[in-house]
Amino acid sequence: MIELDNVGYNYGGGELLTNVSVKLAPGSFHFLTGPSGAGKTTLLKLCYGALHPTSGRVRAFNMDVKGLDRDQMAMLRRRVGVVHQDCRFLDHLPLYENIALPLTVSGRDLTHEDGNLNELLKWVGLGERLDALPPELSGGERQRAALARAVILSPEVVIADEPTGNVDWEMSQRLLQLLIELNRMGKTILVASHDLSLIRMAKNHVQARVLRISNKQLQLAGADL
């Protein structure tokens, strides 16, 4: 579904990633690890077209991402749901409307989507928080809301950047379970995480590959995980 072929990326005059090759097959589950500043967020952005490689090629759904026009890129963004690390919301809108924003932008009629929206919010455990404003949400609620917004258009791929980085262990497990459930529904999952305990737990439930960025390159992590 997404393939990086000998990808390199330069940032600020220096090389951040080099000779990165990886395939995200349909229904696969990948973790991405590495120290801070190694380029995890950059690699994720390359996967969904927010950045273009300095060298090499990125293909998504059999299309060269670098050559996509505006409409094709918009379609790609609908097929790839992204959970950003900073969980930005429009603070003046209630949670329900924030989650529905991708539907609104894509021109969907919300009156026909109300049932799906409510079902999705119940699924992430926010069914009672429809009218809450983003500043009223806890860290864990914000992360679950970000996941709900990322999957509202039923994407084929879900990419999450440190989704458990700012929540406690109990909430981390809950978020992981939601990602595992999405994978069982057939979604391709790519999660950047530094939490090795969480990764070990996930490997008890799904067949997850663990990738590590080291010395600007991507490696398959060892069996110690």
Question: Per residue in 23-52, pLDDT tens?
Answer: 999 999 999 999 888 899 999 999 999 999
Is CATH 3.40.50.300 correct for 2-88+155-220? yes
For position 175, what pLDDT does the model report?
87
Question: Does the pTM exceed 0.85?
Answer: yes
Residue 8 confidence (pLDDT) above 50: yes
Q: Give the pLDDT confidence of 45-70 residue by residue, as tens digits.
A: 999 999 999 999 999 999 999 888 88
Q: Give 224's DSSP letter.
A: T
The rounded distance, in Å, linking the Cα atoms of 97 and 111 is 12
Question: What count of other Cβ atoms lies within 10 Å of the Cβ of residue 14?
Answer: 7
Q: What letter would DSSP give residue 197?
A: H
Type of residue at 65: V
Break the chain into its structural domains and give their ranges: 2-88+155-220
Query: Measuring CA to CA, how many Å separate 208 from each of 76, 91, 202, 205?
Result: 24, 35, 7, 9
Q: Are 89 and 83 in contact (CB under 8 A)?
A: no
Q: What string of H, E and C letters represents the secondary structure of 156-223? A: CEEEEECCCCCCCHHHHHHHHHHHHHHHHCCCEEEEECCCHHHHHHHCCCCCEEEEEEECCEEEECCC
Share of the chain above pLDDT 90, in %: 53
Crossing angle of helices 139-151 and 95-105, in 10° steps, is 20
